[in-house]
Amino acid sequence: MKLLTRLLLIVLLAVFTAAGQEQAGQESEVPQHKTPTFPIEAIHIQDVKIDFKEGYITWIVTTGMAEASGKFRGTAPPKSYSVSIRDRIMRVDGEKRRFSEQEQIVVASQVSSFFEGLKRYAVSSTIWWQDGNGEPVRRSVSKETTAEE
C-alpha cells in the first residue's frame, strides 16, 4: 500500500503542477535541487482512497518536519483533501474550490488517465494472481519483505 500511496502522490503532484503551468502558459523546467538542511518541512500522506465509480480521489495529509533519518513528526492536525473529477471541484476540510476551465481540461484528462491506468493494473494483477504466477511466500519471511507488503 505504501507504494500505491507514493505513486498516487506523484501523479497528483504532476496533475496539479501541470494544471498550474497550463494556466500560466509556462513550460515545465527541471528544478535545481539543493542539499536540504534537516529537519525540513514535509508532507505525510496518511491515507488515500479512490472511488472509481463516483470519480473521487480523497487523501489525508499531515504537515510536519522530517529528519535526515526519515522520521516524520507532525506539527499540525491532519487535513482531508478530495478531488471530484465529475464536478471538477477540490475540497479541503469542507471548503470547496472549482477548477478554472483550463485546469478542468488538464485535471480531467490526467486524473482520468491515471484512473484508467490503475484499473488496468488492478485487472492485470488479478489475472496474474489467478494464473498462479509468482513465488509463494512462506511464513518465515524476513522483516524486510514483510515491511514492504
Q: Which three cell numbers stand for residue 92?
A: 479541503
SS3 83: strand
Note the pLDDT of residue 34. Answer: 77
State the helix-helix crossing angle for 2-24 and 101-130, rounded to 10 degrees: 160
Alpha carbon of 21 to those of 25, 26, 29, 31, 103: distances in Å?
6, 5, 10, 14, 9
Alpha carbon of 28 to those of 9, 14, 33, 34, 108: distances in Å?
18, 11, 15, 19, 19
**Average pLDDT of the residues of the chain:** 80
Q: What is the pLDDT of residues 57-106, one digit of tens each?
A: 999 999 999 999 989 999 999 999 999 988 889 999 889 999 999 988 88
User: Using 50, 70 and 90 to split pLDDT, how confident is the model at 140?
Assistant: confident
Whether pLDDT at 7 is above 50: no
Which one, of 71, 63, 50, 65, lies nearest residue 117 by Cα? 50
Note the pLDDT of residue 85. Answer: 83
Domain boundaries, given as residue ranges, for the chain = 2-25+37-131+143-148
Q: How many CB atoms lie within 10 A of CB 38?
A: 10
Rg over CA atoms, the chain: 18
User: Using 50, 70 and 90 to split pLDDT, how confident is the model at 109?
Assistant: confident
pTM: 0.59
HEC string for 11-71: HHHHHHHHHHHHHHCCCCCCCCCCCCCCCEEEEEEEEEEEECCCCEEEEEEEEEEECCCCC
Q: What is the pLDDT of residues 35-54, one digit of tens each?
A: 878 899 999 999 999 998 88
| Mean pLDDT score, 25-40 | 70
Give yes or no for a contact between 96 and 108, defined as CB atoms under 8 angstroms apart.
Answer: no
